[in-house]
Amino acid sequence: MPTYEYRCEKCGRFEEFQRITDDPLKTCPRCGGPVKRLISSNVSIIFKGSGFYTTDNRSKEYKEQAKKENEATTSTSSTAASSAAH
């Protein structure tokens, strides 16, 4: 059974267990004042995680690849440089 959050103008926030089929409260069960139902906000944060991991893996592989290529180029260029010095 979901918990709905309400805000009473007099009492402040409170939670109320209700069935989905129940009508939202219009009046506060404590003071009888008007209430508004709040939209639940704890759903959307988890989204971002998965993208980070794929990008991270890819960049790590890319770095390893770039490192190999870099070592290859530095070794050939150093030989070229030493032979040019002679």
Of the candidates 42, 7, 36, 11, the residue with the CA atom closest to the CA atom of residue 24: 36
In angstroms, give the least distance from the CB of 41 to Zn ion: 21
> Residue 33, interface with Zn ion (CB under 5 A)?
yes
> Residue 11, interface with Zn ion (CB under 5 A)?
yes
Q: Report in angstroms the alpha-carbon separations of 85 from 70, 73, 74, 77, 81.
A: 22, 18, 16, 12, 6
> Residue 34, interface with Zn ion (CB under 5 A)?
no
Position among 13, 22, 31, 69 found at the interface with Zn ion (CB under 5 A): 31
> Residue 25, interface with Zn ion (CB under 5 A)?
no
> Residue 29, interface with Zn ion (CB under 5 A)?
no
- Calculate the dihedral angle through the C-alpha atoms of 68, 71, 77, 78, rounding to the nearest 10 degrees: -160
Of the candidates 9, 46, 3, the residue with the CA atom closest to the CA atom of residue 30: 9
> Residue 8, interface with Zn ion (CB under 5 A)?
yes
**Interface with Zn ion by CB under 5 A: which residues?**
8, 10-11, 28, 30-31, 33
